[in-house]
Structure 1
Amino acid sequence: MNAFRLLMVVFIVGVLAYTGIVISNHGWNLLPIFFGDIAAMTWPGQFNFDFMCFLILSGLWLTWRHNFSAAGFSLGILGLFGGIMFLAPYLLIMSFRVNGDIKTLFMGKGRWID
């Protein structure tokens, strides 16, 4: 679990630093570039489409993990739009809240039979 937590910290620091550099060099204008690459049917567009599918899956997983509650839908939207900058801190915090229990971390409470 400590290795997982360290990986989440590396993701948080790495993506925040990288994003800061990109914003300082290119501004906040992500969406036209992101969807423009998809519309152009290029390799960057293929990557963006693949990434968007992962973001949707992340949002659905967060919503499911919280039993499709109002909080779950809110977390799902944050996962969809926040990507790893939301998901890594979420998983890091939740790993402590569930005392390192990997089943509970990824499935929520009471979703399996031992």
Structure 2
Amino acid sequence: MAEKSKNSKKKGGMKPFLGGTILTDERVTRQLPFLFLLAFFALVLITNRNWSERTIRQIEVLQDTLEELRSESITLSAKLMDASRPSEVVEKVTESGIGLEEPTRPPRKIKVQKK
């Protein structure tokens, strides 16, 4: 008789799992809060990973844009330096026919005497 009571207490196998009676077992119901906590942590982990990957993609796009703008800035700066040379300015003025001439005398300081 002792052997039958031991066997009746031991409910193993697939039958309780497939039948759904395992969910009513006291050992499983005591662990439900812990299982919910684990599910919550898994959800937080997935959300955090998704957010970080999206942020990394945005950083890469911004870095590409920054490199393009930096190279454009360097190109425009070089063109401006080339266009602002005195020889280029004189050439542009003569081409436009404004009638301005390059000064041949160096600039002088004008002194005004007070009475």
| Bin of the TM-score, shorter chain as denominator length | under 0.3
TM-score normalised by the chain length of structure 1: 0.24
Q: Which has the higher helix share?
A: 1
Larger Rg: 2
- Structure with more contact order per residue of length (Cα contacts < 8 Å, sep ≥ 6): 1
TM-score normalised by the chain length of structure 2: 0.23
